[in-house]
Amino acid sequence: MQTLADTTTLVEPRDLSAVADLLTEDRIGPHDGEGKTVVVAMSGGVDSAVTALVMRKRGYKVIGMNLRLFSPEDEDHRANPCCGIPAMDDARKTCATIGVPFYAINMEMEFGAHVIKKFVDEYAAGRTPNPCLECNRHVKFQHLVQRARLLGADCLATGHYARIEYGQNGALHKLYRALDDRKDQSYVLYTLNQDQLGYIQFPLGNLTKPEVRRLAHAFGLPVADKPESQEICFVGNRSYADFVSEHRPDVTVPGDIVTNDGAVIGQHKGLVHHTVGQRRGIGIQAQKPFFVLKLDTESNQLVVGDREDAEARELVIDTVSLTGGVWSDEPFECDVVVRYRGTPTAGRVELGSPDNRTARITFTTEHGPIASPGQAVVFYHNDEVLGGGTISAVERRGAKV
């Protein structure tokens, strides 16, 4: 079999002392890679580039692997090209600079079915999906782990900002928030199971974004100054409403804006232009601010109310995933987060049957969060990720939606 991870001499920085503080074991992990191979997911951005660099510095033989997920057809790449051909070219250049082999895999069909189609269908149904989470769940980690193992790699590394504490002697692996709160991505990683957590590495978890860029500059990586990718890569410079409308023109049909008690107070231009919790841009003049409570797709009505009416008292969630894999019969207290980098709210979780993977969350504070069906909800204990699920129903002060 070909030795896929044979590499050339690792490029060194002009001044190693300038970044030596970032290459210690407490920052990037132990130098334990001798004789081991790692597949690094290469998105074409600076985070994955530095991940490949760091794993080489730790002694691993590195294989760079790019997933081509979405290739926009417009000439100027209006949609963010973080997952298309330009990104693949950037990833290839980075691998050439570092001195590691590079492979590209076309996953556009899987991405279209599990991420783009679900995104459009969920918004058309008045729900609020998280495409990055679905990409991690159904595309990236499922296929990358499988391919890394087929290549005989000892582990898979990605540029996500999160931390894993590996259990020893049969103890559970644990997932934690990243050191950099501004870049933490643990919210979209809660679906990782014990097998995946034991195989994956997040070497950027103890670094900040400025430190990552400092490493990229020091080693002369070609993507050191590449701008941040947009969260919804396939939407690009358009609004999500325009993107969904292109696929589902029916979502732009005008309808009534009604209060929680059914009074008509205005007209909307299509439910797709609104989200639960929205306060600005609703399109009505009033003495007090209104918040969107519900997108009623059956009646094509936009339901609005007071801030207090929008707050959730309880959530019903499905497709529950527990990081530890152990289904608890006893309710447990935790911090609940209902949006990416959202503010934690204290809550009590009661799990249903492990067969139906449902749960009910009751908020134990005076004010609950504003939540929407379709959103991911994640359980935390301090910085540790306990698990999460998808909101199917919201019990609000003013209405159940």
Catalytic positions are: 135, 233
Q: Where are the alpha helices (DSSP H) in 125-247?
A: 131-135, 141-150, 194-199, 209-218, 240-247
Look up tokens 């050339």; give the residue: 8
Quick one: how far is CA 14 from the chain centroid?
35
- Written as six digits, the tokens of 40 are 């690094």
The separation between the first and the last C-alpha atoms of the chain, rounded to the nearest angstrom, is 57
Q: Residues 353, 341: contact at Cβ < 8 Å?
A: no
Q: Please, what's the b/e burial string for 216-230 (b: 16 or more CB within 10 A of its CB; e: otherwise)?
A: bebbebbbbebeebe
What residues contact 348, with CB distance under 8 A and at least 6 apart? 331, 332, 333, 361, 362, 363, 364
Beta strands in 252-331 (DSSP E): 255-259, 264-268, 291-296, 301-305, 312-322
What's the chain's Rg over C-alpha atoms?
A: 23
Per the structure block, which two tokens stand in for 3? 């030795």
Dig out the tokens for 387 from the structure. 């698990």
Question: How many CA atoms within 13 Å lie on the side-chain side of 40?
Answer: 34
Where is 39: in which H helix or E strand?
A: strand 37-41
What would the two tokens of residue 375 be? Answer: 């959103």
